[in-house]
Chains A and B, each alone.
Chain A
């Protein structure tokens, strides 16, 4: 099941690697995270120039035509360098939704801008009390002439403080927890009645709680079929999980490498840490965890790419398995680095925190474990 990457895909990986190696060192990232904005437009521009922001789209929009694989390649490298810029939110989530579900007019209006790095997008689906249920929506959208009027609150919207546009889930019919009746809307971030309360996230990004008070959205802002938003978001989540798993694999790769390296140089009781059998076995388990995570991620990405039925169950399985594996690797990387692992100065803790955030996004391992168990 090993993926034979095409020459073009290898080129993509090499060019991402080179760019990040030259321009996204851990020190540069630290400065970006500490800056007022919290992300780097300059780097975003470079990602666009390199074609990364187009890569997952079809050839028509400058991409490779094999979205999940291109996404995996980019996200794995972004995971290794802890890139904070909103590739996930803008390209994978919003771009993916527009490409898969949008009208021709929407695709042509938005995808070139996204692929060219012209706009940042964010996806607002979660609400207080919704936990990880995509269909648990109380934000309402009611028709008013040619427009929809949106009211409600959205929670923990990653990248919202940076965003030009939001995709917002709102209920056009049914009760709060009905699967049907949710619709998606493209909402301008500067819309009247839309209010953000921003906060920093544990992994050095920015997010916001969003209040919508009678926000007017033209009917042309409806994304996908009215009332089908939950099913649309479920497909979006499957793609997102492929991307997040790839990112987690990238982070685990770096954690394992630096732990192994540290265990060979750090001395305790006169010998290198790596000579203690208990730690050798721990690092073997970390290695095994990474191998399993990588395999399952590739398996999921191939299934996404082939559009196989049952991919949603597999996505949940991967989110659970990779999530537990990454958590194990992260916790043990800190443990084996000892006090240094606790320090903000070292990159280990930052990988660990990103892994913790990936765990939460679109549902934690326990949620997906049970969803895997209950999905046929």
Chain B
């Protein structure tokens, strides 16, 4: 499905397509880029995009954005996800960058933005805490003012790729007496500061993506406070708005569905009792994708006309994650007995994996994708948002 594109936009799409085809590093085409690439490898594409000036489509031109229209940004999203390129680190480019250029001081902008664009700094997100879950305002990590510094104590968790990070942006409580949302501040913390410790969390798929981050008497310069003290919740919400766009993941789901169809053709003979079941299940997912893609295009067209998308991001998050979970479930199921094997990317010693290579990540993908309906505001929370914001319940 395509947006009706003007000739300029069509030319832009062609330019993007050929740029990706010619420049995406072969080295990054591994079984599971999220877990299999080293920090340096995963930055290769980032650096190429930086040189091209395309690293931060969302950013205004004055801060280093490419100055694209909303339609162009959408084309970019669509083409990169269709091509299966590893997106530049969202915590840096999509999340903290816009917070800094929107709410930061000039000094902060000058210090941090160029290093985000170049990939010199790797950022991670210090939002979740043990016990906080989808209730982010329950932040307990404390920051106490001490002259020109804050002394930060607390425990952040589920911190994605903190093992690579140079900086962490944190929600911290600066006013314990205020209402939950009112006493929160937004701090930028150098991971090299004494008192910052990272401990890996291994997930059920055997991978090491997330971490605990412990903060013990960490001294953070007041100059690293974003905006005003106790106004952090405003910036946090602004950031979450960015997190939830492009959650539909149409390009990725389309790619995985195409692959699933190929695998079914090879693995399931037509006279297998479950062959018809697969056919029907796949057709259902395909229609789900089609309907979500049509919804996304409709919303993009409305946004281009200046219409507020409302809670569309929640809808994209719910359906996009459900669809991808379903595809990974089917892909695991279609592998039959080989679905018993798990590759264990993090320090596992499953050197030998049985069966054809296209099935080697089926189990870990199925397991890993369970997180999608939990993180970024669980799907239950997203349904609450729609119930409240759209249905007025």
Task: Give me the interface of A with B, judged by CB distance under 8 Å.
Answer: 126, 128, 131-133, 155-156, 158, 197-203, 207, 209, 266-269, 276, 278-279, 331, 334-335, 338-339, 341-345, 349-350, 352-353, 356-357, 360-361, 364, 366-367, 369-371, 374
Total A-B residue pairs with C-beta atoms closer than 8 Å?
140
Residues 213-244 of B contacting A (Cβ, < 8 Å):
none
Given contacts A155-B355, A338-B378, 17 further A-B contacts (CB under 8 A): A126-B337, A131-B267, A133-B272, A199-B341, A200-B342, A200-B348, A201-B341, A209-B352, A268-B135, A279-B380, A339-B157, A339-B374, A342-B370, A352-B367, A356-B363, A367-B272, A371-B273
Given the contacts A339-B158, A357-B340, A197 and B370 also touching, CB distance less than 8 Å:
no
- B134 close to A268 (CB less than 8 A): yes
Question: Quick check: B342 and A202 within 8 Å, CB to CB?
Answer: yes
List 4 A-B pairs, minimum CB-CB distance, nearest first: A349-B204, A156-B337, A370-B273, A202-B342
CA distance A207 to B269 in the complex (A): 25
Complex contacts, B342 vs chain A, CB 8 Å: 200-202, 353
Q: Taking chain A's interface residues, is the majority helix, strand, or loop, or is none over half, making it mixed?
A: mixed
B194: Cβ under 8 A from any A Cβ: no
Query: CB within 8 A of B135: which of A158, A203, A269, A344?
Result: A269
Name the one of A201, A268, A374 contacting B340, with C-beta atoms under 8 angstroms. A201
Known contacts A156-B340, A201-B340; decide if A342 and B131 are in contact (CB<8 Å).
no
Across the interface, do A364 and B273 meet the contact criterion of CB distance under 8 Å? no
Q: How far is the CA of A199 from the CA of B158 in the complex (A)?
A: 29
Chain B residues within 8 Å of chain A by Cβ, number: 52
Whether B375 is near chain A, meaning CB under 8 Å from some CB there, is: yes
Residues of A within 8 A of B278 (CB): 366
Seen from chain B, the residues whose Cβ lies within 8 Å of a Cβ on chain A are 128, 131, 133-135, 138, 157-158, 201-204, 206, 210, 267-269, 272-274, 276-278, 281, 332-333, 336-342, 344, 348-350, 352-355, 363, 366-367, 370-371, 373-375, 378, 380, 383
* A341, B375: Cα distance in complex, Å: 12
List of B residues within 8 angstroms of A341 by Cβ: 370, 374
> A338-B133, A353-B367, A366-B278 known; A199 and B354 CB under 8 Å?
yes
List the A side residues contacting B273 at CB < 8 Å: 367, 370-371, 374
Residue ID in chain A nearest B333 by CB atoms: A364
Q: A22 to nearest B CB, angstroms? A: 27
**A360 touching B340 by the CB < 8 A rule?**
yes
Bound-state CA distance A266–B135 (Å) is: 12
Known: A202-B340, A268-B133, A343-B204. A197 touches B354 (CB 8 A): yes
Contact partner of B352 among A155, A199, A279, A350, CB < 8 A? A199
- Contacting B336 at CB < 8 Å: which of A131, A278, A350? A131
Given the interface contacts A342-B203, A360-B337, does A209 sit within 8 Å of B374 by beta carbon? no
Nearest-CB distance from A230 to chain B (Å)? Answer: 15
| A263 CB, min distance to chain B CBs, angstroms | 12
Q: What is the CB-to-nearest-CB distance from A211 to chain B, in angstroms, rounded to a whole number?
A: 12
Assembled-state Cα–Cα distance A208/B341 (Å): 10
